């Protein structure tokens, strides 16, 4: 017998053993991670993955004890797991299709009937081939791993950053300023807040000006969505000219996310010896998780992560919330609350770091979920949406204003800390990536755009837009020669993220 024959014989032996239930246990978690690539980190799945594999193993061995047959036990455990892990997906689908019909009781009865049929089939009929089911299980897992694998690849910061914008010989001054780039997600312009919500934000705007900030009265974002807006800002370029991948027909986002994480601005700062600082946001694509200092979410007071609650919603365990055993929305809200407060807790520590720092601080606020009242009190996210988990205009306005009021106070405290603690006056940018939801598309471009540029505020003007932010900073502080671009705003629909149409800035 030659080596190839031995390998084939060994594989045949291994694949005749019914180990597929254990592999089937891993598949639902891996498939959900693959489906949400870019939004969820792979690390978020480890606990759910181990629990599901353990559950599959225990079910398999328990049924083996009852049936006294490895193959029947494997087949029945696989059938029962298919029912358990598919239930939530069917429930979600029926919820979308049958909005006015309470189908849950009938669905549970159907699943109970299917479970009985599965037991009878496994006990009375010969189980399907272990070889075939092993191959199917392994194929499903491998397919999911292939889909996940691009998110595990790290593209070089210097290679991509240098590609995304013309590299210039920048010089670090003798006393380099720390640079803080705050994205206040969905933070709208003062006139929009007044028109849409009757909210007078002048106290906050005046407080910024008293501290030396320039607030662009006609601030408008360059794009309508977070990922394209912030990627454009960090690369000091409009997406249309940044990469061929951003063509109107494309819906690809991997290049977009890579260009965000490994941007021209980050490349420039790191090339000058700056330490990069970043925070967890809860969205994998928007995290500089390979920065020099990355503040992950604190130990969750809620106990489990958003991915784990999402995974529960795709299984029969979704009824744990109906029974009051777990509140997935409260867990999600607590995790968002923890991440937000962590940012403000770390401001003093960052300001005291001896090295010059470039801090990217993305706060998912005043963006939903609405988890803070105006005085910082805890609010439940579900209080602001309807049964379809959509935001009625009145509830959205209330939640937005509550959260913005609290955020304003925390931001001013953070600005006082950064300015007072820093030996060299820092550079601080406070920007909305886009305006609030539920507004006309032109008003969704109206953003807070404020700059603390000691000694250089005279270069700013009312319609300055985010794409010119770092061009101006590198020119004024680091000897750059980046030409200022024309300030233009573009709307694009979903899913055609790169199908851009110009939105004029009519602010007077």
Domain range for 412 is: 154-503
List the structure tokens of 321: 């919330």
Task: Decide: 371 and 403 in contact? Cβ < 8 Å.
Answer: yes
Q: State which H helix or E strand residue 388 sits in.
A: none
460 closest CA partner among 475, 447, 446: 475
Q: Tell me, yes or no, whether 176 and 283 share the same domain.
A: yes
Q: Tell me, yes or no, whether 168 and 107 share the same domain.
A: no
Per residue in 248-262, is it b (16+ CB within 10 Å) or e — as a string?
A: eebeebebbbbbbbb
133, 151, 169: which is the final residue of a domain? 151
Task: Decide: 403 and 336 in contact? Cβ < 8 Å.
Answer: no
340 closest CA partner among 288, 293, 404, 261: 404
Q: Tell me, yes or no, whether 212 and 179 share the same domain.
A: yes
Give the CB-side neighbour count of residue 106, counting CA atoms within 13 A. 7
Q: Tell me, yes or no, whether 343 and 197 share the same domain.
A: yes
185 closest CA partner among 449, 397, 433: 433
Q: Tell me, yes or no, whether 84 and 100 share the same domain.
A: yes
List the structure tokens of 329: 């929305």
Q: Tell me, yes or no, whether 44 and 185 share the same domain.
A: no
| Single pTM value for the model | 0.84
311 is a domain residue:
yes
Rounded Cα gap, residues 107 and 97, in angstroms: 14
From residue 388, alpha-carbon distances to 92, 97, 229, 317 in Å are 11, 12, 28, 20
Q: State which H helix or E strand residue 10 sits in.
A: helix 3-15
> Can you tell me which residue has the tokens 């940012």?
343
Q: State which H helix or E strand residue 156 sits in.
A: none
272 is a domain residue:
yes
Give the CB-side neighbour count of residue 19, counting CA atoms within 13 A. 8
207 is a domain residue:
yes
User: Would you state the torsion angle of the CA atoms of residues 500, 503, 504, 505, taken in this order, to the nearest 10 degrees?
Assistant: -120
488 is a domain residue:
yes
118, 151, 184: which is the final residue of a domain? 151
333 is a domain residue:
yes
Q: State which H helix or E strand residue 180 sits in.
A: strand 179-184
Residues 6+ apart with CB under 8 A from 205: 190, 215
For residue 228, give the DSSP letter: H
Model confidence pLDDT, tens digit, residues 285-298: 888 888 999 998 76
β-strand pairing of 427-431 with 357-363 = unpaired
In angstroms and rounded to an integer, the radius of gyration of the C-alpha atoms of the chain is 27
Q: Tell me, yes or no, whether 246 and 302 share the same domain.
A: yes
120, 136, 151: which is the final residue of a domain? 151
pLDDT beneath 50: ranges in the chain: 155-158
Give the CB-side neighbour count of residue 319, counting CA atoms within 13 A. 9
List the structure tokens of 23: 């592999």
Q: Tell me, yes or no, whether 40 and 55 share the same domain.
A: yes
Q: What domain count does the chain have? A: 2
32 closest CA partner among 23, 41, 21: 41
For residue 276, give the DSSP letter: E
71 is a domain residue:
yes
Rounded Cα gap, residues 334 and 23, in angstroms: 33
Tell me phi and psi for residue 311, to 5 degrees. Answer: -65, -40
Tell me phi and psi for residue 109, to 5 degrees. Answer: -65, -40
Rounded Cα gap, residues 88 and 122, in angstroms: 24
* Strand locations in 230-279 (E): 275-279
Q: Tell me, yes or no, whether 202 and 177 share the same domain.
A: yes
Reply yes or no: is the peptide bond before residue 91 cis, omega within 30 of 0: no
Q: Tell me, yes or no, whether 101 and 190 share the same domain.
A: no
Residues 6+ apart with CB under 8 A from 95: none
Sign of dihedral through CA atoms 88, 92, 97, 102?
A: positive
Q: Tell me, yes or no, whether 160 and 110 share the same domain.
A: no
508 is a domain residue:
no
Three-state DSSP state, 326: coil
Q: Where are the alpha helices (DSSP H) in 68-180?
A: 70-97, 104-124, 130-148, 157-164
Q: Tell me, yes or no, whether 122 and 164 share the same domain.
A: no
17 is a domain residue:
yes
CATH number at residue 182: 3.40.720.10
Residues 6+ apart with CB under 8 A from 284: 38, 39, 40, 41, 151
* pLDDT reported for residue 211: 96
Q: Which residues pair with 431 in a beta bridge?
A: 183, 449
């Amino acid at each position: 017998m030659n080596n190839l024959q031995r390998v084939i014989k060994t594989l045949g032996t291994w694949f005749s053993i019914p180990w597929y239930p254990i592999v089937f246990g891993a598949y639902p978690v891996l498939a959900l991670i693959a489906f949400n690539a870019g939004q969820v980190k792979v690390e978020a799945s480890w606990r759910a993955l181990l629990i599901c594999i353990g559950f599959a193993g225990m079910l398999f061995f328990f049924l083996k004890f009852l049936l006294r047959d490895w193959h029947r036990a494997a087949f029945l455990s696989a059938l029962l797991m298919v029912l358990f892990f598919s239930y939530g997906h069917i429930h979600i689908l029926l919820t979308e299709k049958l909005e006015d019909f309470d189908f849950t009781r009938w669905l549970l009865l159907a699943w109970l009937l299917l479970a009985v049929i599965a037991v009878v089939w496994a006990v009375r009929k010969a189980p399907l081939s272990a070889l075939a089911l092993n191959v199917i299980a392994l194929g499903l897992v491998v397919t999911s791993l292939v889909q996940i694998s691009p998110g595990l690849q790290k593209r070089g910061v210097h290679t991509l950053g240098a590609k995304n914008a013309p590299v210039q010989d920048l010089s670090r001054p003798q006393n380099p300023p720390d640079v803080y780039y705050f994205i206040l997600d969905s933070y709208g312009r003062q006139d929009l807040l007044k028109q849409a919500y009757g909210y007078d934000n002048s106290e906050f705007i005046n407080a910024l000006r008293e501290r030396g900030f320039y607030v662009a009265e006609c601030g408008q974002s360059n794009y309508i969505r977070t990922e394209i807006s912030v990627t454009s800002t960090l690369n000091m370029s409009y997406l249309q000219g940044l990469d061929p991948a951003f063509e109107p027909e494309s819906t690809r986002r991997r290049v977009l996310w890579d260009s965000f994480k490994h941007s021209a601005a980050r490349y420039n700062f790191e090339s000058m010896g700056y330490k990069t600082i970043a925070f967890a946001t809860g969205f994998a694509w928007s995290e500089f998780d390979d920065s020099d200092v990355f503040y992950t979410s604190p130990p969750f007071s809620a106990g489990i992560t958003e991915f784990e609650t999402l995974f529960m919603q795709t299984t029969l365990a979704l009824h744990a919330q109906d029974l009051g055993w777990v509140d997935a929305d409260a867990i999600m809200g607590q995790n968002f609350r923890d991440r937000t407060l962590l940012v403000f807790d770390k401001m003093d520590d960052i300001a005291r770091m001896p090295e010059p720092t470039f801090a990217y601080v993305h706060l998912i606020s005043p963006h939903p979920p609405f988890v803070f009242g105006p005085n910082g009190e805890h609010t439940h996210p579900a209080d602001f949406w309807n049964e379809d988990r959509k935001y009625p205009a009145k509830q959205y306005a209330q939640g937005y204003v509550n959260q913005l009021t609290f955020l304003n106070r925390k931001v001013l405290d953070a600005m006082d800390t950064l300015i007072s603690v820093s030996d060299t006056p820092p550079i601080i940018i406070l920007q909305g990536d886009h305006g609030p939801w539920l507004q006309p598309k032109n008003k969704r471009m109206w953003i807070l755009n404020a700059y603390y540029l000691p000694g250089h505020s005279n270069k700013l003007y009312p319609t300055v837009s985010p794409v010119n932010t770092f061009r101006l900073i590198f020119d004024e502080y680091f000897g750059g020669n980046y030409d200022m671009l024309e300030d233009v705003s573009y709307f694009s629909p979903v899913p055609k993220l790169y199908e851009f149409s110009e939105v004029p800035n009519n602010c007077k």
